[in-house]
A and B are shown apart, each in its own frame.
Chain A
Amino acid sequence: MSQPGLQVQHVTKRFGAGDTEIVAVRDVSLDVAHGEVVLIMGPSGSGKSTLLLMLGALLRPSTGEIHVNGVEVTGLSERRLPDLRLRHIGFIFQDFNLLSAVDVLDNVSIPAQLAGARRRDARTRAAALLQALGLGHRLGFAPEQLSGGEKQRVAIARALVNEPDIVLADEPTANLDARHGHETMRLLRRIARERGRSVIIVSHDQRIRDIADRVLWMEDGALRDAVAMAADPVCGMSIEQEKAVIATWDGRTFGFCSRGCRDEFLEQPLQFVLPDPAPPEAGAGPLPPPGGREIVSQPAVPR
């Protein structure tokens, strides 16, 4: 059985003590497979950010363990954490948080240099990444010259430049308009699929449910029951698995929002999904084939 990208075991975080003690995160367990996108939603103050901080090795849990690619983060000394964050975790922030004094290329290449790459190599790698994200023509631009969507793509490139095992995104679409928000969501999904990264997103944005393999609901510091979600491969709508109209093709099961979508799919399925998908890795959870989405089985949105 292959190792999950991220493994969270009975993690609890308490602040204060005695009468003033607050339990921000309560006995959370979670496995995120390579290539999986997990969205964590929940009301303000539910503990999402605290959980994200712990997943990013920026905050130590009071109890429990967190493993990133098999390495127990919670057991590492304080001195080793920056290196872990640098090489194994990619951060995408709500406010982009680009360095205002340097250009786009340096914003992405600096973390690579910090990780030990020569400046020339780091810049080459950063340029290739930015090119792939459609920012090849913006390399020498200052962050302030970019649109919100471009800034977020730079931030995504920065998060990926050291090829981390997991990518943590904190409200990645909060400061973006609808078009750029969709663009960012598609990009996060591509990152998970094509690069095999575990992507964990904390957000209030319902639109992100469309690209998530799992949607987790957090409330009062704990993950609650949620329903399995599926994405309609025809219209892209996110639907509860139990309520989906089901069809099987090429040995795989697909969920649809309506019979109309199902019929349209069955008429010409190759318009919507690719044939011969690679079998899912044992233990890695159900991964969709390139270009299409399968019904997922993990719990997601609370009932």
Chain B
Amino acid sequence: MFRLAVANLTQNRTRLFLATSGAGVALALVLVFQAVFTGASARLTAYIDRTGADVWVSQEGVRTLHMSTSVLPSSVVEAVRSVPGVADAVPVRYATDSVAVGQAEFITYVFAVPERASVGGPWRIVAGTGALQPGEIVIDRSIAGTAGARLGDRVRILGRDFQVVGLIDGTSSLVSSVSFVRVEDFVRARGSGDAISYVLVRAQAGTPAQALAEAIRLHVTGVTVQTRSEFAAEERQLVADMSTDIITIMNTAGYLTGLAVVMLNVYIATVARRREYGVLKALGMRNGRLYQIIVIQALITTGLGLAGALLLTLSLALLLPWMDGLLVLSLDRGATVRVALTAAVLAVVASLAPARLIARVDPASVVRRGTS
């Protein structure tokens, strides 16, 4: 029956093209949005993932960077350093602010770490330097590129002007970026004194991060201790929770559009062949077999649409960052499998109305026509 389904589908190639295109655009909507979200999420945790800390220590109860304020006394740093297995502990000051470059403003996570700290500083300087002097700042290359700023230009952040001396890569997205200033500039701007935000901990060689986090929990009280992966997961989950509604709305819109396109196509194709299905029933084909033909047609239409959607999304993932550094698309396997499975379910759902139509086709009508 597969051959018959394929033949039915490919006989009218224009209709097949339009149907798969429609389904493809609808599924691409879902995939692209998913990819944008995944790309932005990855960039949101870029600092956590790349800065080199094995364990993060924060104020008790604080588990994220985003939408959180962590304030720790500087004494915590020494307490952490004394824990067996700790190679280094670096105090980090952090704030969320906007960096104004000319007329443009970009949300940024501002970090300040001591000079020559083993972890926590900029990790991928692509232009200029990461060794900051007072009044100097490192910003993301994409932000600088988008705003037309160069090394030596001045930007405004934390209520003060800074001179751009370095550009870092791979931290910006539509919703955030990472910037670095000197500790004294941060303290002066924020008036935070000795208070720090987090302690970044590097483990001694051979010490697992999980074991080290456990040891710090035992030795240092009044803090929350998480491994890097735990901290990043919490961050991603927070963003996901905040975005659930909009993602659901976008996905639903995409899926419903795809469903409507596939259902309409399969229904029209079924109506057009109603007489042939009547002939098959008269010859002895059971309804179940006819349903199979309908479902196969819907699955093929959806599958081709999905393939087109994947191709489109992957193309955009390659092209968009090249055109606009703030827009990063990342298509992860899990999301793709979820979209594929949902699309398959939608294809089956799209077959219900045509199947109902088939069930009502009277095989006797084939004989009745033209005779008495």
Contact = CB atoms under 8 A, between A and B. Distances in A.
Interface stretch (B46-54, B179-187, B310-318, B361-369): B361-369
A106 B8 CA distance: 12
B371 A91 contact: no
Contacts, number: 89
B353 interface: no
Interface residues of A, number: 39
A82 B285 contact: yes
Interface of B: 3-4, 7-8, 10-11, 273, 275-276, 279-286, 289, 363-364, 366-372
Interface of A: 42-49, 52-53, 56, 58-59, 82-87, 89, 91, 93-95, 97, 99-102, 106, 110-111, 114-115, 158, 170-171, 174, 202
A6 to B, nearest CB: 16
B370 A99 contact: no
Nearest to A99: B276
A158 B138 CA distance: 79
Given A101-B4, A101-B8, A114-B289, A48 B371 contact: yes
Nearest to A97: B279
Contacts of B276: 97, 99-100
A158 B368 CA distance: 20
Contact of A58 (B10, B363, B369, B370): B363
B282 to A, nearest CB: 6
Contacts of A89: 284
B284 A93 contact: no
A106 B3 contact: yes
Contacts of A44: 372
Contact of B282 (A43, A45, A56, A87): A56
Contact of B284 (A42, A46, A83): A83
B272 to A, nearest CB: 10
Contact of B369 (A86, A94, A101): A94
B72 to A, nearest CB: 72
A89 B10 CA distance: 31
A99 B279 contact: yes
A174 B370 contact: yes
Contacts of B7: 99, 101-102, 106
Contacts of B371: 48-49, 52, 94, 170-171, 202
Contact of A53 (B8, B367, B370): B367
B359 to A, nearest CB: 13
A187 B52 CA distance: 86
A93 B276 CA distance: 12
Contacts of B280: 99, 110
Nearest to A52: B367
Contact of B372 (A49, A82, A114): A49
19 contacts: A42-B372, A44-B372, A49-B367, A53-B367, A58-B364, A86-B284, A87-B284, A89-B284, A91-B367, A97-B275, A99-B4, A101-B4, A101-B7, A101-B10, A101-B11, A114-B284, A114-B289, A115-B284, A170-B367
